[in-house]
Amino acid sequence: MSTTNAAILVEQKSNAFGILSFIFGIIGIFVIAIVFVPLSIIFGVIGLIKKQYVWSIAGLICAGIATAASPLIMGMLMVASAG
């Protein structure tokens, strides 16, 4: 009587980088954008490389909104309107 033990490896896809990008983008809109926007962009790009498109694109959009809503980042980019 012979028994064969075969292991089946199933690769689970994780959306961790995309979700982190989205969370940091949302936090960047309401809190300290100067810290959370770069994190959102970094994790969004990594997520896109790892083919986590939906969450990564949502995170990058939130990072863009946070950048536009942050006077500190806009001033650093010298895009702030002269008033």
Check residue 59 and give its pLDDT.
Answer: 95
DSSP notation for the chain: ----------PPP--HHHHHHHHHHHHHHHS-HHHHHHHHHHHHHHHHHTT-HHHHHHHHHHHHHHHHH-HHHHHHTT-SPP-
Question: What average pLDDT does this structure show over 57-77?
Answer: 84
Residue 81: pLDDT above 70? no
pLDDT tens-digit readout, 33-66 = 889 999 999 999 999 999 889 999 999 999 999 9
pLDDT tens-digit readout, 1-42 = 667 777 777 777 788 999 999 999 999 988 888 899 999 999
Check residue 36 and give its pLDDT.
Answer: 92
For the chain, the domains span: 16-76
